[in-house]
A = this chain, B = another copy of it.
Amino acid sequence: MKSRKIPNPTIMRLSLYYRGLAESRKEGFISSRELSEVTGFSPEQIRQDFSYFGQLGYPGKGYEISLLMDKIKNILGIDKRLKVIVVGIGNLGSALMSYRGFQEQGFDIVSGFDVDPKKIGGVVSGKKVMNVSSMKKYIRKHEVKFAVLTVPSGIAHSITEQLVAGGIRAILNFTPARLKLPREVKLLNVDLGVELERLSCLTLLR
């Protein structure tokens, strides 16, 4: 274990390794070469990545799969279930509230929030939709740390302020707005239009 700072790209790859391990349904041991075939990353890179987290593997055998998965879960902080709220219950927001992938990865969507009276009081995928005005209090009370943001970009900033005031620690932002956040609140932007653009570009250039 070389206890240097862990590169960001390594962190970004960990969840894909985890997914690869889960999918392979292999049991016992897996080598970096085998994991390479599943995930598409090079064996060297995989070993390098794992080396940041200590002695994980066994020379000549590989990595013990269940141990490795536990370790990654632990590193990623998904060894305990985390509460998530969805703000903005439009088409995308509703879809995300029903999205099974979140559940599977250890996230519990606990409720939705919107400003539209027609949506407030409703139920989507078994979870209540509440008024944004009660959001701050809710976040505090239930100690929610994660929010998924799918509101119109015009109100994204004001909603974000309320999220931060409530104590949210991380925002998965589906709006095109570039949010300004205090250092301690983490942000990940998922811009579907931008993703397609990038894809379009890759198609033309390579």
A191 to B39, CA, bound (A): 14
A97 to B105, CA, bound (A): 25
Query: Given A186-B206, A201-B75, A201-B77: A176 and B101 within 8 A (CB)?
Result: yes
A67 within 8 A of B: no
A122 within 8 A of B: no
Contacting B at CB under 8 A, from A99-137, are 99, 101-102, 104-107
Output the nearest chain B residue to A75 by Cβ-Cβ distance. Answer: B201
Q: How far is the CB of A150 from chain B (nearest CB, A)?
A: 9
Contact among B99, B104, B186, B200 with A91 in the assembled complex (CB-CB below 8 Å): B99
Contacting B at CB under 8 A, from A148-206, are 148, 169-172, 176-178, 186-188, 190-206
A38 to B11, CA, bound (A): 27
A186 cross-chain contacts in B, Cβ below 8 A: 199, 202-203, 206
Chain A residues bordering chain B, tally (CB within 8 A): 63
Chain B interface: which of A13-21, A26-34, A42-50? A13-21
Contact among B92, B104, B169 with A99 in the assembled complex (CB-CB below 8 Å): B92
- Contact indicator A20/B178 (Cβ below 8 Å): yes
Output the nearest chain B residue to A22 by Cβ-Cβ distance. Answer: B176
Output the nearest chain B residue to A187 by Cβ-Cβ distance. Answer: B199
- Contact indicator A99/B192 (Cβ below 8 Å): yes
Q: Which residues of A contact B (CB under 8 A)?
A: 6, 11-12, 14-16, 18-20, 23, 38-40, 75-78, 82, 84, 90-92, 94-96, 98-99, 101-102, 104-107, 145-146, 148, 169-172, 176-178, 186-188, 190-206
Q: Beyond the given A91-B94, A106-B197, could you list 18 further A-B residue pairs with CB under 8 A, ordered by the A residue number? A: A6-B205, A11-B202, A15-B194, A18-B197, A19-B176, A19-B191, A23-B178, A39-B178, A76-B200, A76-B201, A78-B197, A91-B99, A101-B192, A107-B200, A146-B196, A186-B202, A188-B195, A190-B192
